[in-house]
Amino acid sequence: MKKTKLLVIFLLTFILVTACANKGETPEQAVKNALEAFSKLDLKALAEYLPSEELANLNYETEEDREFTLLLMKNLKCKVLEVDKDGDRAVVKTEISNTDLAAAFLAYFEKIFEMTVIQSFSADSSGFDEDEIDQLLLDILGQDSYGTHTSVIDINLQRIKGNWILEVENDEDFQNAIWGGAVKALGADLNNL
C-alpha cells in the first residue's frame, strides 16, 4: 500500500511538473500562436512572443483604434510550411494571408479623390466631415470584395529563457504580410496604427 501511494504521488508530481513547466512550445506553435494573438490583438498573449519594444507599438489609445485594427486583422491566417531549427534559433517559413488591404486602401483613396472632385465643383465648399471620411473607410474595409493578399516569408525566432521570441521588429516582409500588402504598396509603417 505504501508503494502504491508513493507511486501515485510520484505520478501526480510528474504530471504537475510537466503541466506547469514551459509549454514546451515548438517554433511552429509559437508562430501560429503569435499570429492568432495578432489577429485578436491579444496583447497579453503577444507579450510572450514579441520583444517589449515591438509590443509598445501595439498599444491603442482608444477603443475605436482597437476596433479599427481588429477590422484590418479580421482575415489574418497563417500556415507553417517549413521549420529549420538550430539550437536556440529557428526560421519558420510561413504563408500569411489577410484581406488585400492595399486594394482596399486604394479604393478608399479613389473614393476620396472622387468626392474631392465633386466637392470642388459644388456650391457647398464646406469640405468633408471627419466622421464621414472615417465611416467611408470602415465601410470599405467591411466589404469582403478586395480579395486576399498572401505572402510566403521566413520568420526568425530566438529562444530566450525557454520562450520562442519572434524577431520581427523592422521586418518589412512580416509587416507587409500581416497588413495585407499595404506596407509595400503604400510605403507606410502600419505598426503605428
Domain boundaries, the chain: 22-192
Higher model confidence: residue 124 or residue 90? 90
Single pTM value for the model: 0.76
Res. 57 pLDDT band, cuts 50 70 90: low
Which of the 8 DSSP states describes residue 106? H
Average pLDDT, integer, range 79-96 = 97
CATH number of 22-192: 3.10.450.50
Residue 79, C-alpha cell as written in the block: 500556415
Q: 90 and 28 in contact (C-beta within 8 Å)?
A: no
Q: What type of residue sits at position 35? A: L
Would you say 50 and 168 are in contact if contact means Cβ atoms under 8 Å apart?
yes
Task: Specify the DSSP class assigned to residue 100.
Answer: -
